[in-house]
Amino acid sequence: MRIAVTGARGFVGGAVCRAAADRGWTVHALTRTDWNLTTGPWPGAPRVDAVVHAAAAVGDWGPPAPVWHANLTGTRNVAASFPGARLVHISTASVYDPFVPTVLADEELAPVRRYLTPYAASKAAAERALSGRPDTVVLRPHAVYGPGDRTLLPRVLGAVRGGRLLLLPGDGTALQSLTHIRNLTDAALLACDGATAPGTYNIADADPVPIGEALRDLLAARGLRVQLRPLPKGAASWAATAAETAWRLARRPGPPRITRYAISHLAEERTLALDAARKGLGFHPAPTSFDDAASW
């Protein structure tokens, strides 16, 4: 199997490259040095059986234009550069409606027309741009974690106050479908196989977990004894709106500790149905686990 992987230096792209190499596949690991995918199609693209498009601008803060350029324009250019290959597009469960709970959502419930962030809106637009392309697989993971995580774990650790207290929007019981990086890489490699069915698939760990329990387990595995203090959703939403306004007026480059996007994922259920991935890809995910979190 010959594959190309965009975003090969990133969390997801790097993990896909390593997993594919471990299987003995030929891997073209593409970085911005090789090709800036926002500048146009790549005339020298290698001939491959599949391309895993993992490059993306990720986050819920910052100016929208670069995010749209990377996530929509970049995706269009990847598709144009590999017209004869299977395209495995790493999307996100953020394409589901952020204003209502996501309860064992089936794939047809997204994309929608309203989003809280340019990231979610641009990833939804990228899915729409690929909707007519043949031999395409779209994967929608939620809250990807594991070795090499540069987003979720740093943000959790950064929200711990004084090394001992973490304010948690909601009461901590909201169920969440989390996605270990190994489950996502397994799904991506399954999707590279032309014998699996094209389509859109939710990807997550075997079963949802309560968010409070998951955070306690994660922090404990890191050797941290942190008290989780519930924060009513209404108060959290007010605080997030005020913080975002203040941050924007001050033109701060980084996000505040609490945002409306974060609240939409922590205080509400965000769970995904995996029936389609199990049937179409032969996906059999492992349970949520933080056993190796001390080494991340």
Residue 251, Cβ density class (10 Å: 0-12 exposed, 13-18 middle, ≥19 buried): exposed
CA distance 289 to 286: 8
Which residues lie across from 139 on neighbouring strands? 90, 201
List the catalytic residue out of 119, 145, 201, 261.
119
Angle, helices 74-81/118-129, rounded to nearest 10 degrees: 30
Assess contact for 66 and 57: CB atoms under 8 A: yes
Other beta carbons within 10 Å of 236: 21
Please, which residues have CB within 8 angstroms of residue 215's CB and are 6 or more apart in sequence? 156, 166, 168, 172, 228
- Residue (of 180, 204, 3) closest to 88 by Cα position: 3
Is 145 one of the annotated active-site residues of the chain?
A: no
Which residues lie across from 6 on neighbouring strands? 30, 53
Active site positions, annotated: 119
